[in-house]
A and B are shown apart, each in its own frame.
Chain A
Amino acid sequence: MPLEQKVKYESECDREFAQWVVGQIGGENLRHCIQCGICSAACPLSLYMDYTPRRIINLAREGFKKEVLSSFTIWLCSSCYACRVECPKEIHITDIMYLLKRRAIEEGVYPRSFPIPVLAREFGRMIFMFGRVNETLLVTDLFLRTNWFKFLGMIGLGLNLMRTGRMSFLPDTIKRRGELRKVLDALDAEEKKEKKEALS
């Protein structure tokens, strides 16, 4: 086990990142956390996480941006909201996990071939193209991109779905795709305008 220096220098804290999290929708009560750990206990997936949800909240409010954005935790969250209803300080932990995922994607910090961020991106692309998601195509596309071997393992499940008529090959599309694109493009334009104003 290589000896590793564990001390963290204050210079590694990104106060501005901590401020950004508090400013986001859902991050309002972040500073009121008393580190009681009920979110980690409520979370059905915390046993697989490198940082339990409680530690992510503490690292985020202190500004340890690198540790938070490169953690597995934010990607293992299945948004079941168990932590949110248990939290005695009413911190919206699930929304915080979402905004950290978005920031991780934006900064390209997420683990490369880790399936979940790839799933999120593919999901978005499919909606932009067809307006609706076809589960079969989504899963196939996901595994072709991340892990060939696992795709082979899904064959059994695929056969079962075909047997029970729950497999659908053709993508299902909405009629007015242009309308949906106009909405999404309008938001992109708005965001660019904001970014330009922010810079000027």
Chain B
Amino acid sequence: MSENKPKQENLPRVGFYICHCGSNIASMIDVAEVQKYASGLPGVAVSRDYKYMCSDPGQEMIAKDIREHKLERLVVAACSPNLHEETFRKAAARGGLNPFYFQMVNIREHAAWVHEDKKSATEKAKDLARAAIARVRFHQALDKKRVPVDPNVLVVGGGIAGIHAALTLANAGKKVTLIEREATIGGHMAMFDKTFPTLDCAACILTPKMSAVKAHPNITLLTYSEVNKVEGYVGNYKVTVKRKPRYVKEDLCVGCMECIDACVFKEAKFPDKFNQGLGKRKPVYIDFPQATPKVVLLDPETCIELKTGKCKKSCAAACDRKAFDFNQKEEIKELQVGAIVLATGFKAFDAKRSPQYGYGRYPGVYTALEIERLVNASGPTSGEIVLRDGKHPKAVGIIHCVGSRDAKTNKWCSRVCCMYSLKLAHLIKEHSGAEVYNFYIDMRAPGKAYEEFYDKLLGEGVHFIRGRVDEVTDWAMTPDEEGKLVLRVEDTLAGFVRRIPVDMVVLSTGLEPQADAQEVRRRFNIGCGSEGFFQERHPKLAPVNTFTDGIYIAGACQAPRDIPDTVAQAGAAAAEALALIDAGFVELEPNTSHVVEEECCGCKSCVPLCPYSAITFDEVKKKAVINEVLCKGCGVCAAACPSGSIRQNLFEDDEIFSEIQGILK
């Protein structure tokens, strides 16, 4: 255990600063005591404490001290480096000191805010300060590495978020690839009839944007495709895309849909996923009239030709543009992009997970998405509210918070269900004239003109009952409950339990992460919150960034969100991507590793360790070589090198050993 403390005189002159952070730090740590203690440590030339180190005067003080006291190292004890490391590096640079001769000490998030005993918190602050002062002695002068940024952008997810982001980026002149898993873009919004609170029709405001995407010269639209693999780093991503076969040539088909009529199946037989299974479709189909691209596709599970090869293929015969290609295979494409925007959207809560509401058991129970299709003019019933048994409902019950605000299913409030329940109440009342009951716990209408929309529904005579429905059941207690679905609920404002007989029940299911959210986030190397939504870098200050530079998130994939917020986030994500691309280069943290040739004995134990294959072996010199452009700076090789000849900048062995020694003296 070599004593690696250099002799007293040639110690570099250290400037030590401890921040009060208003009272955040000062309330739990005796900053004066730490300041006094640090001033006595070897090599410390200047030791000060100040109310707000990150403020301009605070930074100015550092720069002035560096010049006046010819400081050669800088240590600032304040908040987390994730917050202000950059700020103080810039302050050092302004003072003429290399920004990497600086070390930060986290005494706010890791001490002041989490301890309750002032004495031990101050003791901890002193230990950490001592460690940093010992460490900063070994820091080397470095400068940030600049890497060029590829100007192309990838947008994943063709819902309203992906569409808006792609259009914004394309309008800014960037080449955008928009990838969508389904056969058409439009996402959930394409399924809606009207949107709250203005009741303007979803298709009317969405279709122009969808056709703009199709027509835009800068956007390459890859539908029915998924991202398979992502490699590289900020500014230089290599993305592998898998295109599922449509068995129809996209560039030939114009969507005349004659093949659908000519199909051997005379009527539509198979459940239509887009219409939530309410409508039927043939093996050759198109999701909805305004589908973009307007191209049909074949369903391999139900098309006889694809399953058995013994069909007279009347569809192909009917197609004068000869667009059918029955042995189309899965296609793999490679993309080079500089930035990626993830807009993969949400999944609706599966109503079957709340069995007491009887979804799947009683035919009169529908999910909200099914009702969106029923009220929709292009839906299976062309907008007519009709039950599965053909009757028209006279009373409809809409249950809010299905699956949400419940520890047994999803703890969170899904933010949009109150508003879309109001919208559905309006549409149902308008289309069918039925009595409508909304069962809510808290009516959450916080947006612009949202409360006014609620007021409009109150005026229309919808019955608002505050209470969570316990059960939907078909056993009747009174004659007028016979043959009806009875909702048992406590009208908490009236103070007693009521039994409301209705013909149709609508379950306003909440929003939850996509089923494959975990795989997708691992593929893009970003984090997930505990519920499974993508993790933003900072909930308030960086909502569309992630911890991985160059990858941005927008819309409901990050948290339940309504359309206005989703579009706003899409614009923000596009702006972040533009900022990255237009800068032209990216400054990378210089924490890469390098091999000290003289000390490397050529044992090759480091070569297989690097996941980015940045380490190669020079057969001639019999030495390992690290390609600094590929190296990401994880330090795994530095730790494994038996001879210690691999050094990781900013995290050298000497630096860490001195930090350990500083803590434990």
Given contacts A40-B497, A41-B469, contact A88 B490 (CB under 8 A): no
Taking a contact as CB atoms under 8 Å apart, the answer to whether B405 and A41 are in contact is no
Main secondary structure of the interface of B (DSSP, over half): loop
Partner of B497, one of A34, A36, A52, A89: A52
Taking a contact as CB atoms under 8 Å apart, the answer to whether A52 and B490 are in contact is yes
27 A-B pairs whose Cβ atoms sit less than 8 Å apart in the complex? A34-B405, A34-B441, A34-B442, A36-B467, A37-B467, A37-B468, A37-B492, A38-B467, A38-B468, A38-B470, A40-B497, A41-B469, A41-B471, A41-B488, A41-B489, A41-B490, A42-B470, A42-B471, A46-B490, A52-B490, A52-B495, A54-B492, A55-B495, A88-B406, A88-B407, A88-B408, A88-B468
For the complex, give the distance between the alpha carbons of A2 and B356 in Å: 43
Which parts of B472-523 form the interface with A (CB within 8 Å)?
Answer: 488-492, 495-497
Q: Smallest CB-CB separation from A88: which chain B residue?
A: B406
For the complex, give the distance between the alpha carbons of A47 and B497 in Å: 7
Q: Smallest CB-CB separation from A82: which chain B residue?
A: B470
Taking a contact as CB atoms under 8 Å apart, the answer to whether A86 and B470 are in contact is yes
For the complex, give the distance between the alpha carbons of A90 and B407 in Å: 7
A86 / chain B contacts, CB cutoff of 8 Å? 356, 470
B495 / chain A contacts, CB cutoff of 8 Å? 52, 55
Q: Smallest CB-CB separation from A32: which chain B residue?
A: B407
User: Is the CB of A140 closer than 8 A to any CB of chain B?
Assistant: no
User: Is the CB of A35 closer than 8 A to any CB of chain B?
Assistant: yes
B466 / chain A contacts, CB cutoff of 8 Å? 37
B408 / chain A contacts, CB cutoff of 8 Å? 88, 90
Taking a contact as CB atoms under 8 Å apart, the answer to whether A37 and B405 are in contact is no
Interface residues on A, range: 10 to 19
- Give per-residue flags for B612-633: 1 if the beta carbon is below 8 A from chain A beta carbons, else 0: 0000000000000000000000
Q: Smallest CB-CB separation from A46: which chain B residue?
A: B497
Taking a contact as CB atoms under 8 Å apart, the answer to whether A40 and B490 are in contact is yes
For the complex, give the distance between the alpha carbons of A36 and B440 in Å: 8
Interface residues on B, range: 20 to 34
B406 / chain A contacts, CB cutoff of 8 Å? 88
For the complex, give the distance between the alpha carbons of A93 and B356 in Å: 19
Q: Smallest CB-CB separation from B407: which chain A residue?
A: A90
- Give per-residue flags for A88-105: 1 if the beta carbon is below 8 A from chain B beta carbons, else 0: 111000000000000000
For the complex, give the distance between the alpha carbons of A40 and B491 in Å: 9
Which parts of A69-114 form the interface with B (CB within 8 Å)?
Answer: 86, 88-90
Given contacts A52-B490, A88-B407, A90-B407, contact A36 B468 (CB under 8 A): yes
For the complex, give the distance between the alpha carbons of A19 and B497 in Å: 29
7 closest cross-chain pairs (CB), A and B: A41-B470, A37-B490, A40-B490, A88-B406, A36-B468, A37-B467, A38-B468
B632 CB to nearest A CB, Å: 43
For the complex, give the distance between the alpha carbons of A87 and B406 in Å: 8
For the complex, give the distance between the alpha carbons of A4 and B88 in Å: 69
A37 / chain B contacts, CB cutoff of 8 Å? 466-468, 489-492
Which parts of B448-480 form the interface with A (CB within 8 Å)?
Answer: 466-471
For the complex, give the distance between the alpha carbons of A52 and B492 in Å: 9
Taking a contact as CB atoms under 8 Å apart, the answer to whether A88 and B492 are in contact is no
Q: Smallest CB-CB separation from A91: which chain B residue?
A: B407
Which parts of B384-425 form the interface with A (CB within 8 Å)?
Answer: 405-408
In addition to A38-B469, A54-B490, 6 A-B residue pairs with Cβ atoms within 8 Å of each other are A36-B405, A36-B492, A43-B497, A52-B497, A86-B356, A90-B408
B491 / chain A contacts, CB cutoff of 8 Å? 37
Which parts of A40-74 form the interface with B (CB within 8 Å)?
Answer: 40-43, 46-47, 52, 54-55
By a beta-carbon cutoff of 8 Å, the part of chain A in contact with chain B is 34-38, 40-43, 46-47, 52, 54-55, 86, 88-90
Taking a contact as CB atoms under 8 Å apart, the answer to whether B467 and A52 are in contact is no
Given contacts A88-B405, A88-B406, A88-B407, contact A47 B496 (CB under 8 A): yes
For the complex, give the distance between the alpha carbons of A43 and B470 in Å: 9
B205 CB to nearest A CB, Å: 35
Q: Smallest CB-CB separation from A58: which chain B residue?
A: B492
For the complex, give the distance between the alpha carbons of A19 and B492 in Å: 25
B467 / chain A contacts, CB cutoff of 8 Å? 36-38, 40-41
Given contacts A52-B490, A88-B468, contact A36 B496 (CB under 8 A): no
For the complex, give the distance between the alpha carbons of A43 and B488 in Å: 10
Given contacts A42-B471, A86-B470, contact A36 B407 (CB under 8 A): no
For the complex, give the distance between the alpha carbons of A34 and B404 in Å: 13
Q: Smallest CB-CB separation from B356: which chain A residue?
A: A86
Q: Smallest CB-CB separation from A89: which chain B residue?
A: B407
Given contacts A41-B489, A90-B407, contact A52 B496 (CB under 8 A): yes
B408, B489, B490, B496 interface centre (most CB from chain A within 10 Å):
B490
A41 / chain B contacts, CB cutoff of 8 Å? 467-471, 488-490, 497
For the complex, give the distance between the alpha carbons of A41 and B441 in Å: 13
For the complex, give the distance between the alpha carbons of A46 and B498 in Å: 11
For the complex, give the distance between the alpha carbons of A46 and B408 in Å: 23
Which parts of B179-201 form the interface with A (CB within 8 Å)?
Answer: none
B471 / chain A contacts, CB cutoff of 8 Å? 41-42
For the complex, give the distance between the alpha carbons of A165 and B491 in Å: 47
For the complex, give the distance between the alpha carbons of A36 and B492 in Å: 7
B492 / chain A contacts, CB cutoff of 8 Å? 35-37, 40, 54
B470, B471, B489, B495 interface centre (most CB from chain A within 10 Å):
B470
A197 CB to nearest B CB, Å: 28
A136 CB to nearest B CB, Å: 33
For the complex, give the distance between the alpha carbons of A37 and B467 in Å: 5
B356 / chain A contacts, CB cutoff of 8 Å? 86
For the complex, give the distance between the alpha carbons of A37 and B493 in Å: 10
B405 / chain A contacts, CB cutoff of 8 Å? 34, 36, 88
A77 CB to nearest B CB, Å: 15
For the complex, give the distance between the alpha carbons of A86 and B356 in Å: 9
A35, A47, A52, A88 interface centre (most CB from chain B within 10 Å):
A88
For the complex, give the distance between the alpha carbons of A52 and B498 in Å: 12
For the complex, give the distance between the alpha carbons of A37 and B441 in Å: 9
For the complex, give the distance between the alpha carbons of A106 and B148 in Å: 78
A32 CB to nearest B CB, Å: 9
B488 / chain A contacts, CB cutoff of 8 Å? 41-42
For the complex, give the distance between the alpha carbons of A89 and B495 in Å: 20
B442, B469, B492 interface centre (most CB from chain A within 10 Å):
B492
A34, A38, A47, A54 interface centre (most CB from chain B within 10 Å):
A38
For the complex, give the distance between the alpha carbons of A46 and B467 in Å: 14
For the complex, give the distance between the alpha carbons of A13 and B442 in Å: 26
A90 / chain B contacts, CB cutoff of 8 Å? 407-408
Q: Smallest CB-CB separation from A40: which chain B residue?
A: B490
A47 / chain B contacts, CB cutoff of 8 Å? 496-497
For the complex, give the distance between the alpha carbons of A90 and B488 in Å: 20
B490 CB to nearest A CB, Å: 3
Q: Smallest CB-CB separation from B465: which chain A residue?
A: A37
For the complex, give the distance between the alpha carbons of A41 and B466 in Å: 12
A41, A52, A54 interface centre (most CB from chain B within 10 Å):
A41
A191 CB to nearest B CB, Å: 34
